[in-house]
């Protein structure tokens, strides 16, 4: 127990200076209370994070600049920037939501689709990304989530929304057919049907849970 003469108080923690006025304390008895732990420092992780941000920005800027002044046609620097962004998004989501399979699948579908479209465009525009990768990723992602729901029915309410969003994505992609963008069409027919059947399956086999989940998510 210490006292502060200036403030007229006793201090029950083992401190050198008074928490109120910062003057030195005087010991009265050698017994003390431990009320609060030492503060844990998170500084190292935050510094590492900032260093990686710094590195990514530097690499991106330098690549864009070299590409800009170089005489070659292919804009490989766009690929570097896109790949860096994709890696950032993947790692961040993996660290924060590693147990949320639905979100991870959605992020990967969108990320890999975007990245592959860019690669395709920069490597001669052979159309393989739009024709095969996008519908393929949609079906694969939808399948993964359906399997997860079947294996872990307890987490249905976590995955339902993502299942529906991916199915919606698969159905919206059919609009690309309307605008005649893909050259090979059967991929989109397949993913369109798969998405429609998935939604039908949910409302047939899990209608109570599905409707309940939608009511919660969209209540106002």
Partner 1 sequence: MKIKREEEYYWQRLDNAAKIFPAISNRFSPSVFRLTVKLTSAVDGDILQRATEQALKDMPSFNVKLRRGLFWYYFEKNFAVPVVKEDNAFPCRRIDKFSDNGFLFRVLYFEKKINLEVFHVLTDGTGASHFLRHLVYLYLQEAFPQEQFEEETPSRPADSPLALDEDSFQKYQRLGDEAEKPPFSSAYHVEGVRVFGAEMKVVQGIFSASQMVALAKSKGVTVTAYFTALLLESIYQESYRYHEKKQRVSVCIPVNLRNFYKTDTMRNFFSTIGVAADFYNKEHTFDELLELASHQLQEELSAKMLADKIRYNVQAEKNLALRFVPLFFKNLGLKLIYQKGEKAHSITLSNLGRMTFPKEIAAHIDRYEFLLSTTKSQGLKTTAVSTGDVMVYTFTSNLEEMQVAKRFFRMLVAEGIPVTIASNEREEKADENL
User: Smallest gap, in angstroms, from Cβ of residue 157 to partner 1?
Assistant: 7
Q: What track of x and - describes contact with partner 1 for positions 117 through 156 (by CB under 8 A)?
A: -------------------------------------x--
Which residues, at least 6 apart from 132, have a Cβ–Cβ distance to it below 8 Å? 184, 187
Q: Which is nearer to partner 1, 2 or 191 (CB)?
A: 2
The least CB distance from residue 6 to partner 1, in Å, is: 8
Strands 26-27 and 9-11: unpaired
Long-range contacts of 30-38, Cβ-Cβ distance < 8 Å, separation of 24 or more: 31/1, 32/1
Kindly write out the interface string for residues 81-120 of this chain, putting x where it contacts partner 1 by CB under 8 A and - elsewhere: ---------------x------------------------
Q: How many alpha carbons lie under 13 Å from residue 21 in its C-beta half-sphere?
A: 12
Taking CB under 8 A as the criterion, the residue among 5, 19, 61, 147 binding partner 1 is: 19
Please name the helix (run of DSSP H) or strand (run of DSSP E) that holds residue 27, with its range, or none.
strand 26-27
Q: What is the DSSP letter of 17?
A: B
Task: Provide the pairing of β-strand 2-4 with 26-27.
Answer: antiparallel
Single residue of 30, 31, 41, 204 touching partner 1 by CB under 8 A = 41
Q: Which residues bind partner 1 (CB under 8 A)?
A: 4, 7-13, 15-16, 18-21, 33-43, 47, 96, 154, 157, 212, 216-220
């Amino acid at each position: 127990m210490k006292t502060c003469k200036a403030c007229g108080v006793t201090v029950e923690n083992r401190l050198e200076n008074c928490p109120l006025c910062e003057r030195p304390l005087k010991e009265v008895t050698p017994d003390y209370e431990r009320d609060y732990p030492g503060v844990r420092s998170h500084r190292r992780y935050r510094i590492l994070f900032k260093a990686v941000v710094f590195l990514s920005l530097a690499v991106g800027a330098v690549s864009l600049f070299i590409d800009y002044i170089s005489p070659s046609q292919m804009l490989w620097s766009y690929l570097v920037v896109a790949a860096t962004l994709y890696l950032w998004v993947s790692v961040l989501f993996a660290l924060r939501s590693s147990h949320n399979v639905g979100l991870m699948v959605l992020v990967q579908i969108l990320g890999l689709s975007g990245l592959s479209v860019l690669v395709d465009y920069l490597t001669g525009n052979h159309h393989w990304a739009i024709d095969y990768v996008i519908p393929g990723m949609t079906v694969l992602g939808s399948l993964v989530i359906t399997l997860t729901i079947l294996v872990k029915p307890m987490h249905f309410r976590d995955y339902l929304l993502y299942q529906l969003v991916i199915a919606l994505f698969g159905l919206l992609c059919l609009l690309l057919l309307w605008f005649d963008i893909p050259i090979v069409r059967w991929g989109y027919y397949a993913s369109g049907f798969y998405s429609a059947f998935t939604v039908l399956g949910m409302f047939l086999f899990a209608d109570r849970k599905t409707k309940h989940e939608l009511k919660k998510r969209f209540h106002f």
